[in-house]
């Protein structure tokens, strides 16, 4: 079956620390993958998307970066976290008519 | 600039009390309008995609409709398990991104 996995579920990190969030999909090949962020009081915002290995497009300038080292793996990273990076991070891929989202990572930067 | 506005921000219904959620949009070249359901602490769950004005889709107690300026999510005889945040998103132009509204938080009481 086609599934999407995201981890960790929750994360508390100090300001200035690095970040690595991982997303993997199963049961498909060459998917388009997306990272969204949901901040309090705001709608979901697209951060990055990838149409293939090594291909990353950024939608908004920010403190974060993304990489796609393997076909079904999408990683969100930061070298030094800011307080404003706090939020709910969601990985997604296109499955059928709609985007399918992972279970999300709640990141709190303290 | 593409805009998606959802109303009301919050809605409280009694079980069995039907109502509608609104999603108004301003985009160039609509390719699809999406409805999602999001439970607290979880990723959005896909409900419907609508592609053109006049289109309608149904799923259990939910019915989504689309005009050239807005979409409605009608909830008939809701149950407490329908309580969630309902998100609307549009995809327009040649881009990959979904542009999300801030959502309507629905609470259905017994």
Whether A40 has its CB under 8 Å from any CB of chain B: the answer is no
- In this structure, is the dihedral angle defined by the CA atoms of residues A50, A93, B53 and B17, taken in order, positive or negative? negative
Confidence of residue B23 (pLDDT cuts 50, 70, 90): very high
pLDDT at residue B27, rounded to an integer: 86
Residue B63 has pLDDT above 80, yes or no: yes
Residue A95: per-residue pLDDT:
67
Look at residues B22, B31, B93 and name the one whose alpha carbon lies nearest to residue A97: B31
Mean pLDDT, residues A80-90 taken together: 95
**Secondary structure (H, E, C), B32-82:** EEEEEEECCCCCCEEEEEECCCCCEEEECCEEEEECCCEEEEEECCCCHHH
Q: What are phi and psi of B82, to 5 degrees?
A: -85, -5
Give the confidence band of B109 by pLDDT, cuts at 50, 70, 90.
very high
Confidence of residue A96 (pLDDT cuts 50, 70, 90): low
Q: Note the pLDDT of residue B42.
A: 92
Give the mean pLDDT of A96-102: 82
DSSP letter at B94 equals T
Which residues have a Cβ under 8 Å from the Cβ of B23 and sit 6 or more positions away? B4, B5, B6, B33, B35, B70, B71, B72, B73, B88, B101
The share of chain A scoring above pLDDT 90, in percent, equals: 67
- What residues of chain B lie within 8 A of the CB of A44, using their CB? 44, 87, 89, 98, 100
Tell me phi and psi for residue A84, to 5 degrees.
-70, -5
Best of B96, B102, B104 to substitute, by most chain A Cβ atoms within 10 angstroms, is B96
Residue with tokens 């999603």: B23
SS3 assignment, position B27: coil
Q: B17 to chain A nearest CA, in Å?
A: 27
On the question of pLDDT at A41 being above 90, the answer is no
A101 touches B at CB < 8 Å: yes
Look at A7 and B8; give whichever has higher pLDDT. B8
Q: Are A39 and A86 in contact (CB under 8 A)?
A: yes
B48 contacts on A by Cβ (under 8 Å): 98
What was the pLDDT predicted at A47?
A: 93
The answer, for B89 touching chain A at a CB cutoff of 8 Å, is: yes
Q: Does A100 touch chain B (CB under 8 A)?
A: yes
Give pLDDT, residue A5: 92
Tell me the chain A residues in contact with residue B98 when contact means C-beta distances shorter than 8 Å.
44, 46, 99
Question: Quick check: B22 contacting A, CB < 8 Å?
Answer: no
Instruction: Tell me the per-residue pLDDT of B35-55, one tens digit each, with 9 for 90 and over.
Output: 999 999 999 999 999 999 999
Over chain A, what is the mean pLDDT? 91
Averaged pLDDT for residues A46-73: 91
Q: Which of A44-48, B35-39, B57-61 has the lowest mean pLDDT?
A: A44-48
């Amino acid at each position: 079956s086609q599934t999407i996995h995201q981890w960790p579920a929750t994360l508390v990190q100090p300001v200035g620390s690095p970040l690595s969030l991982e997303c993997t999909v199963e049961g498909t090949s060459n998917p388009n993958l997306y990272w969204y962020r949901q901040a309090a009081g705001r709608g979901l915002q697209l951060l990055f998307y990838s149409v293939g290995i090594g291909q990353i497009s950024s939608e908004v300038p920010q403190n974060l970066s993304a990489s796609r080292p393997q076909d079904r793996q999408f990683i969100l990273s930061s070298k030094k976290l800011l307080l404003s990076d706090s939020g709910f991070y969601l990985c997604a891929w296109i499955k059928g008519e709609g985007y399918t989202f992972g279970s999300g990572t709640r990141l709190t930067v303290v | 600039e593409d805009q998606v506005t959802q109303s009301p921000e919050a809605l409280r219904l009694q079980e069995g009390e039907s109502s509608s959620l609104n999603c108004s949009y301003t985009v160039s070249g609509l390719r699809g309008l999406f409805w999602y359901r999001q439970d607290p602490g979880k990723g959005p769950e896909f409900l419907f995609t609508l592609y053109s004005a006049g289109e309608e889709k149904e799923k259990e107690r939910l019915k989504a409709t689309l005009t050239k300026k807005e979409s409605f999510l009608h909830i008939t005889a809701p149950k407490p398990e329908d309580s969630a945040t309902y998100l609307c998103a549009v995809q327009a132009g040649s881009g990959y991104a979904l542009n999300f509204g801030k959502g309507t938080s629905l609470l259905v009481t017994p």
